[in-house]
Amino acid sequence: MIDSAPALELRGITKRFGDLVANDGIDFDVRRGEVHALLGENGAGKTTVMRIAYGLTQADAGEVRVEGQPRIIRSPRDAISAGIGMVTQHFALVGPMSVAENLALGRSRGLRLDLAAARRRAASASDRFGIRIDPSLRVANLSVGQQQRVEIVKALSRDCRVLILDEPTAVLVPDEVNALFATLRSLVADGLSIVFISHKLAEVRAISDRVSVLRRGKLVGTAAGSTDERELARMMVGRPTFGVERVADGAAPSAKPILRIRGLHVAGANDLPAISDVSADVCAGEILGVAGVSGNGQTELVEVLSGMRRPTSGSAAVSGTELAGADPGQVMRAGVGRIPEDRHASLIGDLSVAYNLVLERLDDFGNGGRIDERRIRAHAVELIRRFDIRAGPDDPVATLSGGNIQKVLLARVLSRDPRVIVVSQPTRGLDVGATEYVRSQLLERRADGAAILLVSEDLDELIALSDRLIVLYEGRIVGEMAVADADPEQLGMLMAGRGRAA
């Protein structure tokens, strides 16, 4: 069959938020029976442009065409009647209701739901699209992967011909990703068109026919889905990237321990120790990587080093100042900077970037008992420039993309020049560009003589950045080695609790 007009076409879409141009004249189209990926760094404008196509936001300029016809789309209702469906990053399901009830919502005119019809429709949608879900189950009891399937069936059962999926794999485990991809393949074989938003290169290559890349609100280009990863990464960030090769070269660490951990024991739940007899040194100019499957004592170790948890015995000292039993303020004053795993928990979303940057040290910005707003703002303007944060000082942190949120945290911690940096999962969920930036900042601190303890589940990251590694398993150090001697297979064995290094 020859299809002259694309199923969905966006022409010259422009969208501004204040001074920020989130979308700058974007042209994009998806053909019938095609998966077209939309790739870009955090904050590139992917979600915004597709929210426009689905009527969740209005464009300042540009046109949406469906099967060749210009359409005015003011709401999701308009989009649905034009045959466009979208599964957003955060699902819009009602937890206490069943799958069938959720599928019926938005269809019923009055308040009463026709449950029997809803159940039939759910069953027939599941059959038609080959997506298995039990219509009588409560949504709140489903796994995230199952909820996603309900969202997809909901969109399909409204007869959409174009399905937009916003980072659908972000919440899935690898098996669920494979199942999703199999579903998507069979849907496009039946003529559905899919827009697949992602910043994961491997996935984009695995599923898409074509890829369009956005960078800072602009369309960089559209390429074949088989384009190699390096090329796609280059389009995405505008420069070559690290890959997984080792980047922490340069001067060898000093032999001067800054952080000294001795015989640390931490009690855990159920009488099992969370940490048993952990001892380690981190020297000036050194990154010590902590490898391990999560839940093997990493969190507790970081909490002790941050003054958030008391060990049962043992010591952790920074140049002679004891951290065990200290509170977070004392730990900070001892020169320890902490970049936690849960970014959102240590920032206040409703507060501005400027205030979040000084949250831990409001006292330093006082002026005779009053807060000096002008100094806070000037401080923010300076850090925004130094740390390349793509936001304004007055923007609420909640409106920032993931990469920019991490940059705010980095700026807050690193601007104090900590001698010891305790950092967990620093690049989790970040795209290539933000990842590269965060890593380069840590390496710069290493070069400046900071002692860095890096906890990560990403072995490639540990190998790329660390000088030495320790492996934690059930709260004990089961292996210790220079990164130069690390063998991924042996590391994997140690992490799985198979054997102990000599």
Ligand X SMILES: Nc1ncnc2c1ncn2[C@@H]1O[C@H](COP(=O)(O)OP(=O)(O)OP(=O)(O)O)[C@@H](O)[C@H]1O
CA dist 478 → 272, 482, 483 (Å): 17, 14, 15
Q: Which is nearer to ligand X, 286 or 436 (CB)?
A: 436
Report the SS3 class of residue 435: helix
To ligand X, the closest distance from the beta carbon of 392 in angstroms equals: 10
Q: Which is nearer to ligand X, 166 or 286 (CB)?
A: 166
Residue 399 contacts which entry, Mg ion, ligand X, none (Cβ below 5-8 A, type-dependent): ligand X
Q: How many residues lie near ligand X (CB under 6 A)?
A: 17
- The answer to whether the beta carbons of residues 289 and 457 sit under 8 Å apart is no
Strands 336-339 and 420-424: parallel
Query: Of residues 9, 28, 37, 46, which one binds ligand X by CB under 6 A?
Result: 46
Which range touches ligand X (CB under 6 A), out of 3-11, 266-274, 396-404, 460-468?
396-404
Burial class from Cβ neighbours inside 10 Å (0-12, 13-18, 19+) for residue 288 reads: buried
**Alpha helices, H only, 321-468:** 328-333, 353-356, 373-386, 402-414, 432-447, 459-465
Strands 273-283 and 257-267: antiparallel
Query: Of residues 23, 47, 98, 356, which one binds Mg ion by CB under 5 A?
Result: 47
To Mg ion, the closest distance from the beta carbon of 30 in angstroms equals: 18
Query: Of residues 44, 188, 194, 410, which one binds ligand X by CB under 6 A?
Result: 44
- Number of Cβ within 10 Å of residue 382's Cβ equals 14
Check residue 23 for interaction with Mg ion (CB under 5 A). Answer: no
Please list, in sequence order, all residues whose beta carbon lies within 8 angstroms of the beta carbon of residue 115, skipping any fewer than 6 positions away. Answer: 100, 101, 104
Q: Which is nearer to ligand X, 315 or 399 (CB)?
A: 399
Check residue 399 for interaction with ligand X (CB under 6 A). Answer: yes
Check residue 400 for interaction with ligand X (CB under 6 A). Answer: yes
Check residue 42 for interaction with ligand X (CB under 6 A). Answer: yes
Q: Which is nearer to Mg ion, 47 or 425 (CB)?
A: 47
Pick from 56, 71, 93, 79: nearest CA to 160: 79
Residue 265 contacts which entry, ligand X, Mg ion, none (Cβ below 5-8 A, type-dependent): none
Please list, in sequence order, all residues whose beta carbon lies within 8 angstroms of the beta carbon of residue 429, skipping any fewer than 6 positions away. Answer: 170, 402
Q: Which is nearer to Mg ion, 9 or 167 (CB)?
A: 167
Please list, in sequence order, all residues whose beta carbon lies within 8 angstroms of the beta carbon of residue 464, skipping any fewer than 6 positions away. Answer: 242, 244, 245, 246, 247, 248, 439
Q: Which is nearer to Mg ion, 45 or 285 (CB)?
A: 45
- The answer to whether the beta carbons of residues 72 and 84 sit under 8 Å apart is no
Check residue 58 for interaction with ligand X (CB under 6 A). Answer: no
Question: For residues 185-244, which are near ligand X according to CB under 6 A?
Answer: 199
Residue 418 contacts which entry, ligand X, Mg ion, none (Cβ below 5-8 A, type-dependent): none
Interface positions with Mg ion (CB under 5 A): 47
Interface positions with ligand X (CB under 6 A): 17, 20, 22, 40, 42-48, 199, 390, 399-402
